[in-house]
Structure 1
Amino acid sequence: MYIAIDGGGTKTEYLLLDKHFQVVDHYLGGCLNHDLLGNGWADVSLALKASIDVLLERNGLTVSDIEAAAAGISGLDTAGDQQQADACFSSAGISRFLAINDGYLPIAAENPAAWGVSLNCGTGMCCAAIDPSGNRIKLAGMDEWSGDAGGGNWIVMQMYRKVYENLILKDVNTPLVMEYVKAMNLGSKVDFINSWSDLKEGENAECKALHRKIIWLFFELLERSNPEAQALADQMIKCAAYSIDAAVRELHFSGEKIPVYLSGSILTKAASSGYLSMLKKALSCICQGKLEVHMCTKRPVEGAVQLLKFPVVENFNLSYNSI
C-alpha cells in the first residue's frame, strides 16, 4: 500500500493507494504548513500521524503495510525544513518516503515525466521547477522576504494598502477607494481602520469570505481597466516572469518547449480572463519564447501519486531511505 499527500496551508488531502496505485481511500485533514501552526513542525508531526492513523485504522491496516509515501508540503522551503519534514514521517513510522515542497506537485500531476515549471498562486505564491534529469528548484514562497506578489493574501493586503494610502493619508476618494468602501460596506474611515482586525484573523470563515470579496473586487476593477488595479497586476506579472526565468536559467532544459503549469486557486478559480491573457503574453516573451503555458486540470495530490511510481522517483536521483 502507498500514501500520497498534498499538504496545504488550509487543508491536506491524503490518498491510500493499492499496489497498482489505485485509490482505496481518501481523507481530508487540516493544515500541514508549519508557518501557520502554533507549535510549528511539532504540530505538523502530530497532524500527519493522526491523519495517517485514521486511514490505516478504518482500512484494517498498520503502518508496516505502507510500502512508501510521497508528500508535497506547504512551507517546506529550506534545508532545515527538509530535516523537520523527514523527522515527521519517521515519527509516523514510515521509513520510505519522499517529502518535497507542494509547489512541485502540479508538475508531476500534469506531466507523467515530471518535468516543467509550476507557478502556484493560492494563499501565497511560489515558483517550482524540475528539469528532465530530476534536478529541481523552488523560488519565492517567503512572502515579503522574497518579494512575492500574486497570492491571495498579497492581493488583499495590497488592496487594503491602496485604500489606506488614498483615504487615510491623502483624504482622496479614488474609484478604487469608492468601490472598496462600497463592497466592504464601510461607513467611515474609522470603520475602514477597524476592518483590519477582521482581515488578519486568518483561518476563520468570516475572514476567508472577506478575502474572497476583496480578491473578486480586484479582478473586477482590473477588467474595468482601473489604473490602480492594473499597477498591482503588473507587479504580479513581473514577479511571476522573473521567478520563472530565474528557475529556468538555474536548471538544464533541452531545446524542447518548456511546459509552465498555472496552479493555485487565484489562477485557476479567481483570476479574470483579462489577467490570465496578460500573464500568458508576458510569459511568452521570456526564455526566448521556449515556454508553453498550460492551466492545471488535475488535483495536486495526483502529482504525489505520480512521484510514488518508481521510474519517476528514479529520475529524481533519490533513494527513499536517504530522503
Structure 2
Amino acid sequence: MDKQSFHLLAVDGGGTKTLAVITDSKGSILGEGKEGASNYQVTGKEMAIKALTASIQEALANVNVPNGGMIHFEKIVFALAGIDTLTDEIEVRGIVEKTIKQVGLSTEKLLVENDCLSALLGATQNKAGALLISGTGSIVFAHDGQGNFYRTGGWGYRVGDEGSGYWIGKEAIRSILKMNDGREKETILSKLILQEFGFKKVEDLYNWVYSSAYCVDDVSALTTLVEEAYKMGDGVSKGILDEAAEELTLLLETTIKKAGIAKEEFQLILQGGVIQNNHYIRDIVLDRLKEKAEKVKIIDTDQKPITFIIQRGLNLKWGL
C-alpha cells in the first residue's frame, strides 16, 4: 500500500475533550476527529492513549485514510494537558509514542508540549506574550520572546485553580454553608443555588458535595449564579468575585514579572469563560495589569485553542 502524506497533524488534548486535526501547509483543516479526555492525570494512561488514538483515526477517516494504512506527516504537534513536571513530560511522551505506533504514523518532526504553552507560542508567533486562562481551571503562561517560558498556577481543582469557575463555585457553596451556620449573613445566593440544583435545604447541598454525583463542571457552572446575585446587589457574591479577580491578577502579575516583560510590549491572550464573559472580573484584572504593564496589548478572541496550536506547528523552527 502506498504511503499517504500530509503536512500537519495537530492534537489538542485536555481534561474534558481531545481534538485532532489534519491541515495543509497553509493551515486549512482537511479533517478532524473528536474524543473524550486525554489528560492522563484525569483518565489514566491507557484511557489517554485510547482517546488520542480514536481522535486521530477519526481525523484520518475524514480524509479517506483507511485504518491500517501508512500515514506520514511532515509535522506532528501534540499539545496536551497534564505536562506540568519533568515526570509528566516523560509519561506523556511515552503515551504519545504508543499512540503513534498504534495509529501507524511516521514523521521526522514531532513536538510534545503543554497545551497552554503551545497555544501561547502559536498565538504570539514566538514573540513575548502571556496567556491567561480562567475557565473551569486557571493558569498563566508567559514567554519572554527569547525561548524562556514561565508558568504560574494550574495546579488543579483540588489544591489550586484560584479565580477559576470551579473556585468561584466552590467559594459560593462554602458561603452558603457559612450562612446556614450563622457565620455569614443570609443572602439571595443561597436561594439561587438551591433552586439551581432543585434542593429544598442546605443539607441537601452538603450531601451532594460528598456524593458520587458531585461534578467539577456543575460547580464551575455556579459562576453565572454568583454573577447574577452580584448584579442583584448581593454583597457576599461581590466579595467572591473580588477575590477571584485578585487571585487572577496575582497569577498574571507574578508570571510577567518572572518573564521580565512587564515594561516591554507584549501580547496578552485571554481565554476561558470567566475572564472572557464575566466583565466585572475582567475589568478589575485588566485595569490592575495596565498599571504595571502599560504596553500590554490585549488579544481577546473567540478562536479555539486548536487554531493557535495549528499556527504553532506551521511556524515552528525545528531544531532550534
TM beyond 0.5? yes
Paired position in structure 2 for 1:266: 274
Q: 1:279 to 1:254 in 2, by over 3 A?
A: closer
Partner of 1:18: 24
Out of 277, 285, 288, which is 1:282 matched to? 288
Unaligned stretches of 5+ residues in structure 1: none
Q: Which has the higher contact order (CA 8 A, sep 6+)?
A: 1
Match in the other structure for 2:86? 79
Structure 2 residue 303 is matched with structure 1 residue 298: yes
Q: 1:10 to 1:144 in 2, by over 3 A?
A: closer
CA contact (8 A) 1:117 1:260 kept: yes
Amino acid at match of 2:168: I
| Matched AA of 1:319 | G
Counterparts of 1:125-204 in structure 2 under 5 Å? 125-143=138-156, 147-168=160-181, 170=183, 173-197=186-210, 201-202=214-215
Deviation, structure 1 residue 160: 0.8
- Structure 2 contact 38–51 (Cα < 8 Å) conserved: yes
Runs of at least 5 residues in structure 2 that lack an aligned partner in the other structure? 1-5
Question: In 2, are the aligned partners of 1:103 and 1:118 still within 8 Å (CA)?
Answer: yes
Q: CA deviation at 1:213?
A: 5.0
Shift of 1:162: 0.8
Give, in whole Å, the separation in 2 of the partners of 1:171 and 1:225: 16
Q: Distance in 1 between matches of 2:24 and 2:245?
A: 41
Q: Which residue of 2 aligns with 1:99?
A: 112
Q: Which has the higher helix share?
A: 1
> Secondary structure of the residue that 1:304 maps to in structure 2?
helix
Which residue in the other structure is 1:29 paired with? 35
Residue identity matched to 2:95 = C
1:46 and 2:50 aligned: yes
Length-normalised TM-score, structure 1: 0.83
Between 296-305 and 51-60, report the one with greater CA deviation: 51-60
1:7 maps to what in 2? Answer: 13
SS at match of 1:107: helix
> CA 1:214–1:21 in structure 2 vs 1: closer, same or farther (change >3 Å)?
closer
**Counterpart contact for 1:199–1:211, Cα < 8 Å:** no
Root mean square deviation, CA, Å: 2.8
Partner of 2:227: 219
When the two structures are superposed, what TM-score results if normalisation uses the length of structure 2?
0.84
Query: Are the equivalent residues in 1 in contact too, given 2:35–2:54 (CA < 8 A)?
Result: no
Q: CA deviation at 1:252?
A: 4.5
Residue 255 of structure 2: aligned partner:
247
Shift of 1:301: 0.4
**Alignment-derived partner of residue 240 in structure 2:** 232
Quote how far apart the aligned CAs of 1:19 are. Answer: 3.6
Q: What secondary structure is seen at the aligned counterpart in 1 of 2:147?
A: coil
Opposite residue 6 of structure 1, the aligned amino acid is D
Aligned residue number for residue 257 of structure 1: 265
Please state how far the C-alpha of 1:313 moved relative to its aligned partner.
Answer: 2.3
Q: How far did 1:298 drift?
A: 1.6
